[in-house]
Amino acid sequence: MAALKAGGHYGLMRHAKAPGRSDPETFRLGDCATQRNLDVAGRAQAAAIGAGLRRAGVTIFKLYASRWCRSMETAELLAVGDMEPLDVLNSIHGRPDREIEQTKHLRALVAQPIATPSVLLVTHHDNIAALTRLVLREGEILVVRPLGGGRFDIVGRIAPDALVE
């Protein structure tokens, strides 16, 4: 938490609780009714995580989310800044043709040093796992320090329960 609060870091967050394992085959990106979405517990979790970040004094310079409804809703409910969609955070689940290229672009993003308060990126399990080989729980945040040149260090993990009062 201290690194995220200090600034200059990226937080890779897996979206909050959404029941099920993947989107239906017939989902459409711009139509939330066709996607796997946050449930009541997921909405409460996202709001509580945002409150925990604010209580801890974490300032977020930029807040980005994938265009999937569950990620955008998580980001909005965090209420730590204005959310902007960012395609590099879009889910790569079931899209092996996009995994390598998209992960390369995500790596370049989180390796880029920043001299601002931290940046929070709300994305998906598969994207974080492809980048780091780590599995995060829903609502968990992985804090990384950018080193430039496509490199970054993993500084720590913030469990969603650690932010909830």
48-62 tens-digit pLDDT: 999 999 999 999 999
- Please give the helix or strand (H or E) that residue 147 lies within, else none: strand 141-148
Long-range contacts of 153-157 (CB under 8 A, 24+ apart): 155/3, 155/9, 156/1, 156/3
For residue 12, give both structure tokens: 């890779």
**106-156, pLDDT tens digit by residue?**
999 999 999 889 999 999 999 999 999 999 999 999 999 999 999 999 999
Higher pLDDT, residue 10 or 21: 10
**Reported pTM:** 0.95
- Which domains can be identified in the chain, with CATH numbers? 2-18+32-163 (3.40.50.1240)
**12-38, pLDDT tens digit by residue?**
999 999 998 888 888 898 899 999 999
